[in-house]
Amino acid sequence: MTRTVEAAGGVFAPGHLGELTRIVDFALVDAVLEETGTREKRLRLLPSRVVVYFVLALALFESCSYRATWAAMTASLTQLTLARPAVSSLSRARRRIGAAPLRRLFDVLAGPVGERGRPGVFWQGLRCVAVDGTHLHVPDDDQVTWRYPKRVGQALEFGYPLLRLVVLVECGTRALLAAAFGPEDEGELAYAHRLLDTLDDSMLLLADCGFDANRFLDGIHATGAQFLVRSSARRVPTPVRRLADGSYLARIGYGVLPRLLTVRVVEAEVTRTLADGTTTREQWRLLTSLLDPDRYPAGELVTLYHERWQTETTYFSIKATLLDGRVLRSHSLDGLDQEVYALLTVYQALIHAAADAAHHRPDLDLDRISFTVLLHTAREQVVLSQGILPAPGPTDLVGTIGRTALDALQPARRRLRAKARTRKNPTSKYAPNAGQHPQDAQTYTVSTKITFFETGLANRHRR
Q: Any idea of the CA torsion for 51, 56, 57, 59, to the nearest 10 degrees?
A: 140
Q: Which domain holds residue 310?
A: 110-315
pLDDT over 70, % of the chain? 93
The pLDDT score that the predictor gives to residue 460 is 65
Q: What are phi and psi of 132, to 5 degrees?
A: -165, 170
| Domain final position from 315, 331, 361 | 315
The pLDDT score that the predictor gives to residue 153 is 67
The pLDDT score that the predictor gives to residue 429 is 59
- Can you tell me whether residue 58 is helix, strand or coil? helix
Residue 167 to residue 169: CA distance in whole angstroms = 6
Which residues make beta-bridge pairs with 271?
Answer: 281, 447
Q: Structure pTM?
A: 0.93
Q: Is there a contact between 112 and 53 (Cβ–Cβ < 8 Å)?
A: no
Assigned domain for 115 exists: yes
Assigned domain for 454 exists: no
For residues 78 and 176, membership in a common domain is answered with no
For the ranges 39-53, 86-100, 438-452, the lowest mean pLDDT is seen at 438-452
In this predicted model, which residue has the larger pLDDT, 278 or 396? 278
For residues 86 and 64, membership in a common domain is answered with yes
The pLDDT score that the predictor gives to residue 424 is 60
The pLDDT score that the predictor gives to residue 434 is 62
Question: How many folded domains does the chain comprise?
Answer: 2
pLDDT confidence bin for 423, thresholds 50/70/90: low
Closest of 318, 317, 306, 319 to residue 128, by C-alpha:
306
In this predicted model, which residue has the larger pLDDT, 390 or 445? 445
The pLDDT score that the predictor gives to residue 417 is 76
The pLDDT score that the predictor gives to residue 455 is 73
Assigned domain for 274 exists: yes
For residues 260 and 389, membership in a common domain is answered with no
Region 118-132 average pLDDT: 96
The pLDDT score that the predictor gives to residue 433 is 61
Q: Any idea of the CA torsion for 448, 454, 457, 458, to the nearest 10 degrees?
A: -100
The secondary structure of residue 298, as a DSSP letter, is: H
For residues 154 and 238, membership in a common domain is answered with yes
Assigned domain for 422 exists: no
For residues 89 and 116, membership in a common domain is answered with no
The pLDDT score that the predictor gives to residue 2 is 65
Region 152-172 average pLDDT: 85
pLDDT confidence bin for 463, thresholds 50/70/90: very low
Residue 433 to residue 89: CA distance in whole angstroms = 48
pLDDT confidence bin for 9, thresholds 50/70/90: confident
For residue 435, is pLDDT > 80? no
Residue 381 to residue 217: CA distance in whole angstroms = 44
For residues 176 and 309, membership in a common domain is answered with yes
Assigned domain for 359 exists: no
Assigned domain for 418 exists: no
pLDDT over 90, % of the chain? 69
| Residues 6+ away with beta carbon under 8 Å from 299 | 245, 448, 450
For residue 377, is pLDDT > 60? yes
Q: Which of 330-339, 410-419, 428-437: highest mean pLDDT?
A: 330-339
For residues 311 and 252, membership in a common domain is answered with yes
For residues 115 and 174, membership in a common domain is answered with yes
The pLDDT score that the predictor gives to residue 252 is 95
For residues 166 and 183, membership in a common domain is answered with yes
Assigned domain for 352 exists: no
For residues 243 and 142, membership in a common domain is answered with yes
Pairing outcome for strands 279-288 and 226-230? antiparallel
Region 104-122 average pLDDT: 95
For residues 74 and 116, membership in a common domain is answered with no
Could you report the per-residue pLDDT of 396-417, keeping only the tens digit for each? 778 899 999 999 999 887 777 7
Which residues make beta-bridge pairs with 163?
Answer: 136, 183
For residues 73 and 134, membership in a common domain is answered with no
For the ranges 92-101, 274-283, 346-355, the lowest mean pLDDT is seen at 274-283
Region 46-75 average pLDDT: 95
* DSSP H or E segment with residue 168: strand 162-170
Assigned domain for 440 exists: no
